[in-house]
Amino acid sequence: MQRLATIVLMVSGLLLTQSPLAGEVNPTPHVAFSSKFRSVDYLFTDHAETQAIADGANYDVAIREVGWDLISAVGRACHSVKNIQAIFIDRINFKERHSLVVLGVLADLEFLAFNVESNLPNTTLKELISAFEREHVSVVRLAEASGVELLLSNK
């Protein structure tokens, strides 16, 4: 619990120190609620909550419907990369397509965004993509939004 509080305070500090005028391309997302799997914090943005409500459910129903298999596979992948502390989830797709839209991760207390316009120059993100593949999680780049969509490969 203390670790989660530290991460939330650190993320809040990042939000206060980052200014859109400073040319920040990947600002840290605002966290609305969180959960934990293994040693990785799942940080859900306020957008994830509003989208779940717009889809006719709340966070608890959306998580249950997206499926434990996907949640645990994402958690195992994140846990296998040594310096990842948290993953930022921006949407829970649970109706037709069971997936998570992920904006980025917190690694070594730094927000690393999944930027759809680059080839992931960061080693941590490359390791995470490989870990997702080992866990049979497909990574789909989204043209219309920031981040990537994660879904089980066999679905």
Question: pLDDT tens for residues 34-59?
Answer: 888 878 999 999 888 888 888 888 88
Which pLDDT score, from 0 to 100, does residue 120 have?
Answer: 65
Distance separating alpha carbons of residues 122 and 46, to the nearest angstrom: 26
Mean residue pLDDT of the chain comes to 80
**Residue of higher predicted confidence among 21 and 119:** 119
Average pLDDT on 15-29 reads 46
CB count, 10 Å around CB of 96? 6
pTM, entire model: 0.78
Q: Range with the lowest mean pLDDT among 24-38, 43-57, 60-74, 117-131? A: 24-38
What is the per-residue pLDDT for 44?
92
In terms of Cα–Cα distance, which of 28, 54, 38, 47 is closest to 100? Answer: 47
CB 89 within 8 A of CB 71: no
Classified as helix, coil or strand, 3 is helix
Angle at 67 between CA 147 and CA 108, to 5 degrees: 45
Amino acid identity, residue 40?
A: V
